[in-house]
Structure 1
């Protein structure tokens, strides 16, 4: 497949990433079990009557997609593709609670209709009155990467010239309660978390929405070239070096050609060993991490992709993301490596335009 261009990038996250010059105000979050997204004033973007009926995922995605389309100067994308791990889980919980409270009788369908995972893509399309290709991917931590792959196919096959692609996930009280019980979320006594040298299991959970406009052609606003993507459901630690080197070789690159590597260290001792293994391949690259800024969640890679876009465009790396002290004079190739709890490994290669 031919490369496509990321022509705009927008993100709602634990950081105030909607504002200009957010690079200088990034703060590490390592003392809370759960991190909440910094939300905009939704009334500026969504009619008040509609806000009441929207879950947090839909609201965040509506605003993030609005910013992405506005920056790209596009009113109608040729396709809308969204990735999500948990979907609109707030409405799912409300529907299930109604089922229990009403003994499975006299149920209103609203919460069920709004709980489906494709609600986000559907609501964005309704807001834009867009009748183009509309698809949702639910593949845990590689949901955004599958959305990008589909977007590349749509563009390469001539089905669309510009695609709105993104990912979003929200938190819900009951799910967070369950995550605490099964130790997905770090115990209070294990905080503050050490993201890079953790001796304990579990993560700090976050949330957010990231949207991008992918285009066939480079524009003056382009952030990066989306060169290639690779996804593997399972990879043993011993397979990580070949997983990465084979991917680079396919793109006629070696590890020394990568200027910056963004790794998904989450503070989970059990699964972070994959990232430690990957670091050994990049002795002369800038090594970065980001989940101390965003928290861990199914589509946290949206935040890392957003950061990578800004790093390539500004040719500047925030010190708060640095693992080592290596800095290149020019940042040309950036590799993103992510997984969730050791499953669904993804590699994304971005190139300076």
Structure 2
């Protein structure tokens, strides 16, 4: 499969990633159960009347996609593809609450209409008047990877030249309460969290929205070359290293050729063993982590992809992301490895252009 180019990258996250100087102002968080995204002033991008009817994830995605398209110099993409794990869960909760409070009678359909997972992609297309391919992937933690793979296939098949690809997830009060009850979110007595050597279960939960423009041709704004993607739902711990090595063999590389590997350490002792196992085969690579900056959520890998793009373009790795002390003079390629709770393992390979 031919590579495609990531020609722009925009992100709204727990960090101030819309700020040009965010690289030097990254702040790790290890003592809060839930991390909120730093949101922009939506009035600058969305009319107030429309903004009031939008959920948080739709607003974050609208602004992030605006920045991604602007940076790529694209007014109207050939397609819009969005990956999300939870979709518009705020509106889903509002609709269900109305059902209960009104005894299933006299319900307004607005919250129901806006609660579907494909609302984000639809709203972006409506705003752009984009009549091209419009699709949403809901595959938990590999939703972005499926979106990127779809875009790569379409560009390779000459069905599109420029595609807007994004990932987004928001928090809701009730869902966070449930995550605390079932110990998905780490208990307060287990703070502060040692992400790399945690002895307790659970994670710090985050949120965010990341958007990229994938193109057939390299441009002045190009960040990286998207070379290959691999996804598998279930993986035994003892298969982790072979999974990665077989993936690299496809691209005629070995683990020695990887300049930097970004691992999704989340502070959950039960599932982080996969990352520890994987790190053993990269003794000569810069090993990085990121969920102490973004929090864990279904599409947290959007944040890692965004960071990888900036690392390749700037040829600089933020100290706060470093696991080991290895620094390469030139960063030519980066491997991203992620999963959520030990399921839906994904590998994304990016190269410097």
Distance 2:314 2:226 in 1: 17
Deviation at 1:239, TM superposition (A): 0.5
Q: Distance in 2 between matches of 1:263 and 1:98?
A: 41
- The answer for the alignment partner of 1:83 in structure 2 is 83
State the 1:154 CA deviation.
1.1
Per-residue CA distance 1:75-116 (angstroms, 9 max, x = gap): 010100000000000000000001111111111100000000
Aligned-partner SS, 1:179: helix
Q: Distance in 1 between matches of 2:46 and 2:257?
A: 45
Alignment of 1:171-250 (within 5 A): 171-250=171-250
1:237-280 CA distances to partner (integer Å, 9 max, x unpaired)? 10001100000000000000000000000000000000000000
1:1-353 to 2 correspondences below 5 Å: 1-353=1-353
SS of residue paired to 2:233: strand
After TM superposition, give the deviation of residue 31 of structure 1 in Å: 0.5
User: Secondary structure of the equivalent of 2:298?
Assistant: coil
CA displacement at 1:318 relative to structure 2: 0.2
Supply the distance in 1 between the matched residues of 2:318 and 2:295 (Cα, whole angstroms).
Answer: 17
Secondary structure in 1 aligned to 2:163? strand
Mapped to 1, the partners of 2:220 and 2:91 lie a distance apart of 40
Q: Which structure 1 residue ranges, 5 or more long, are not aligned?
A: none
What displacement does 1:313 show? Answer: 0.2
2: CA distance, partners of 1:38 / 1:276: 30
Q: CA deviation at 1:64?
A: 0.1
- In 2, the alpha carbon distance for the partners of 1:27 and 1:76 equals 35
Displacement, 1:220? 1.1
CA-CA distance at 1:34 after TM superposition: 0.1
Distance in structure 1 (CA, Å) of the matches to 2:101 and 2:21: 48
Cα offsets for 1:270-295 (capped at 9, x unmatched): 00000000000101000000000000
Give distance in 1, aligned partners of 2:297 and 2:253.
Answer: 30
* 1:109-131 Cα shifts (integer Å, max 9, x gaps): 00000000000000000000110
Distance 1:286 1:15 in 2: 22
Q: Distance in 2 between matches of 1:92 and 1:296?
A: 21
State the shift of 1:21 in Å.
Answer: 1.6
Q: Please give the alpha-carbon distance, in whole angstroms, between the structure 1 residues aligned to 2:234 and 2:98.
A: 37
Partners of 1:352 and 1:233 lie apart in 2 by 28
Distance in 1 (alpha carbons) for counterparts of 2:21 and 2:225: 22
Separation in 1, partners of 2:47, 2:27: 32
Where 1:196 maps in the other structure, the secondary structure is coil
Distance in 2 (alpha carbons) for counterparts of 1:154 and 1:193? 42
Distance (whole Å) between structure 1 residues aligned to residue 223 and residue 53 of structure 2:
34
Deviations 1:33-80 (A, max 9, x none): 000000000000000000100000000000000000000000010100
SS in structure 1 of the partner of residue 64 of structure 2: helix
Question: What is the TM-score when the length of structure 2 is the normalising length?
Answer: 1.00
Q: Equivalents in 2 of 1:285, 1:312: separation in Å?
A: 14
Q: In structure 2, what is the Cα distance between the partners aligned to 1:57 and 1:262?
A: 25
CA RMSD of aligned residues (A): 0.4
**Distance in 2 of aligned mates of 1:102 and 1:194:** 46
How far off is 1:153 after superposition? 1.0
